[in-house]
Amino acid sequence: MRQSHQLPLVGLLLYSLIPSQLCKICEVHKENYSCLNPLISTMINSKHTRGIQDANVLLSFRLVGIQKQDVEQQLIQHIKDKVARKGSDLTSGQLALIILALGECQNPDKKFIDDYHLVSQLEKKFQEEIENMGAHNGNPLTNYYQLSLDVLALCLFNGSYSIPKVAELFDPENKNYYFGGQFSVDTGAMAVLALTCLEKNVTNGQIKIDSKDLECINNHIKSLVKKILSEKKENGLIGNIFSTGEAMQALFVSSNYYNESEWDCQQTLDTVLKEISHGTFSIPTAAAQIFPALIGKTYLDVNKDSPCSNNFNISTCESVTPTDSPSNISVHYSVKINETYSTNVTVLNGSFFLDVMTEAQKINETIFSFTMVKTSWGPYITSVQGLSANSSKRTYWQLLSEGKPLSQGAGSYLVHDGENLEVRWSKY
């Protein structure tokens, strides 16, 4: 009895031996905020597709302090409608994002979180993820990126969850951090944010935790940070351009786990700014996910009790639409299961991967038929030739060009004349 009472104290003591958070944050200076205008335009002009992207955008608006009443009200309304219409169909991570977005800073939408019992719904969905792992060879219903979002939201909004279970699940060697053997920086970064939230709640006395679990969580963070840093590229990006924002957030909150010499934050920032000027963040979710880190914010700054800020004076810039010459291009398209089925497809210059798939389907409805669902990143291909992706079996349709996996989805990858495109039945 006495001993179990001492355990949390030992944990606290252990934690206090770790050097205090140095908070190494590099950020875009106020006078250069105009470099961020393309991101704001993408988010504002997002035409509000009523998808989960609205939650990503609202969270980003509130976290960085963009107050644009009309846009914000629309986003909030869409999110609320979505919860009311298909609350129980939402995936765990979607619900977690909605809680983070509606609950950030002092606003009247908190009542909605309570009225719809969103936090207890999330507790239930998180539990279902864990149960699915038990029944399906360690595979969650969704993925570890979403499980991390779940833990983060439960941690920030005082939900309940089992800490020893979280410590066990988030072991950095767990296969769910990897897709086809490749460490997923997005996933690792989100896990670092979630685990750091737990760690912070221990230090500020909000939760009590067994010293063994705390040590375990500290070790997980340390090892995940190492894996994230080992995905740093020569130009400073971490993973790829779309994971870099979240990796930056993870590195901001974990600066006592690595040396200053291990990461040149300014170089990363400069490369991201260059990509912004090239129009790389044309998807609202992409813009929303990169933005917080650029002004030194992280998802751990989500705080239901702090006043909402206003940092940006918005001059809505119209987005530039590239002028496409109306010429045709021709590409080679293949579907690979065991056999490979191929065809040549002619599409307009400026077409996306999805347009090629649609054209191929017109050529042969049986061989090239496909289905898709809308996600916050655009269309996700769920089946080809009637063969469906399945999370519990870790199967999916991978998109490739010249034999290399793409880092964009079917709705945003621009195809080129003479290119060899492929959708391949794969395991991750």
- Tell me the closest approach of the beta carbon of residue 109 to ligand CBY, in angstroms: 19
Which C-beta is closer to ligand CBY: that of 350 or that of 405? 405
- In this structure, the strands spanning 328-336 and 340-348 are antiparallel
The structure tokens 């685990």 sit at 195
The neighbour count for residue 320, using CB atoms within 10 Å, is 9
- Tell me the closest approach of the beta carbon of residue 362 to ligand CBY, in angstroms: 20
Tell me the two tokens of residue 229: 């840093």
Q: Please report which residue ranges of 206-365 form alpha helices under DSSP H.
A: 211-229, 244-253, 265-277, 284-294, 353-363
CB crowding 12-25: b at 16 or more within 10 Å, else e: beebeeeeeeeeeb
The structure tokens 């009637």 sit at 386
- Tell me the closest approach of the beta carbon of residue 399 to ligand CBY, in angstroms: 4
- Tell me the closest approach of the beta carbon of residue 99 to ligand CBY, in angstroms: 12
- Tell me the closest approach of the beta carbon of residue 15 to ligand CBY, in angstroms: 29
- Tell me the closest approach of the beta carbon of residue 250 to ligand CBY, in angstroms: 12
Which C-beta is closer to ligand CBY: that of 306 or that of 407? 407
Eight-class DSSP state of 136: T
Which C-beta is closer to ligand CBY: that of 239 or that of 292? 239
Terminus-to-terminus CA distance in the chain, angstroms? 46
Which C-beta is closer to ligand CBY: that of 179 or that of 291? 179
The alpha carbons of the chain give a radius of gyration, in whole angstroms, of 22
Which C-beta is closer to ligand CBY: that of 11 or that of 239? 239
Give yes or no for a contact between 279 and 260, defined as CB atoms under 8 angstroms apart: no
Which C-beta is closer to ligand CBY: that of 74 or that of 391? 391
Q: Which residues bind ligand CBY (CB under 6 A)?
A: 52, 93-94, 97, 142-143, 145-146, 179, 184, 186-187, 239-240, 242-243, 283, 286, 289, 376-377, 380-381, 391, 396-399, 405-410, 412, 428
